[in-house]
Structure 1
């Protein structure tokens, strides 16, 4: 993903750096509003440069998309770290949660990267995602210590809940309704005992197979077994039968319904 200047070891000229920044800004706007199908020629037009300038810095559309995603995730991580020292830890946490969901819901490039539709190399964002999750963990801990967030959740739960909210907000166009419900569930007043976590949800959910659908899986699955992975369903603490064996399968079923 390096441009010509970094490949040769020379520092890019000031005009080259300005052009690269203009291309990134234009691409960020185009990918956010229209998705990854925007042609590079359209990015060049928005940036006010020639197509050759775009290709000199980014040899392919995927290289440009990766650069945009890295920039956005880095900004999210920095903004989250800045909230850690807020005077109101609980307010900072819930503001972070709502803003993260809103950012991704209305940014088609980020949404595609998170749900696996965009072909982003894991190594490209792995370090940034680790920094982001560490910042989320620190922000969450301060909110829990202040008594604003229930004590039995961790950053993996927060990321999984945000991922689910992103999908629900996008599919239902609920304008924050799902976020409000989720934030209420994270407050201690609404807390009920949680079953033990089995696996930590991943930041990037695994995309479903193209020939898979919830309806077909349900038709082929027996009662008492998960309709997504066909594993036996564990008993729920409430006594009511569970529909899925894990949060990961529940999220996967939701994504399949939304397709």
Structure 2
């Protein structure tokens, strides 16, 4: 649960979650063409309630990303505890992508040409990024990832895989090819 969610009353938290669920579904189906009043109607709320929680669609996308980052940060913490550096890296990467697969709204927000409002979700992104940095560095230091692999490369790979999740895209094959390309041959 993010900091803004913790400070809300129970009914306000339910309304916020209803809006996020509705927006997630509608963004996944229709992209950015969805109107705020459509989201409010799907959530069973008035448009004023929606605007009390989110100023615009950009704020909604940021909240969708924040919700997913909170979930994958827990997954990242578990992966970081694994003894084998390669297993930790692969578990984190695959787990992140498996989490994103059913969440089309999250993928839309991440892959959108409009940059997400990272300032709105800085804490969630920072927590996840710190763990990714440590997991990547540990795998590089162990000689299991190519020595020039950087944490930003994790993002490149995940975005490429996400782009192959729609339609008949075979993101797992894409990921297998990427993993073959980044695994160190120095061992």
TM-score bracket relative to the smaller structure: 0.7 to 0.9
Deviations 1:148-205 (A, max 9, x none): 433442212222233333335558612411101001122223x6xxxxxxxxxxxxxx
**Structure 2 residue 102 is matched with structure 1 residue 99:** no
Deviations 1:69-103 (A, max 9, x none): 22223333332233211244322311322333454
The gaps in structure 2 that reach 5 residues or longer are none
**Match among 155, 170, 187 for residue 159 of structure 1:** 155
TM-score (norm 2): 0.74
TM-score (norm 1): 0.56
Match of 2:71 in 1: 75
Offset of residue 37 of structure 1: 2.5
The gaps in structure 1 that reach 5 residues or longer are 1-5, 192-259
Match of 1:173 in 2: 169
- The answer to whether the Cα contact below 8 Å between 1:80 and 1:136 also exists between their aligned partners in 2 is yes
Distance in 2 between the 1:46 and 1:104 partners? 22
- The answer to whether the Cα contact below 8 Å between 1:33 and 1:106 also exists between their aligned partners in 2 is no
Structure with greater helix share of residues: 2
Residue 117 of structure 1 aligns to a residue in which SS? coil
Distance in 2 between the 1:68 and 1:46 partners? 16
Match of 1:84 in 2: 80
Q: What is the aligned residue count?
A: 181
Distance in 1 between the 2:184 and 2:143 partners? 7
After the TM superposition, list the runs of 4 or more consecutive aligned residues in structure 1 that deviate by more than 6 angstroms.
Answer: none
**Structure 2 residue 131 is matched with structure 1 residue 129:** no
Q: Which has the higher contact order (CA 8 A, sep 6+)?
A: 2
Match of 1:54 in 2: 50
Pick the structure with greater CA Rg: 1
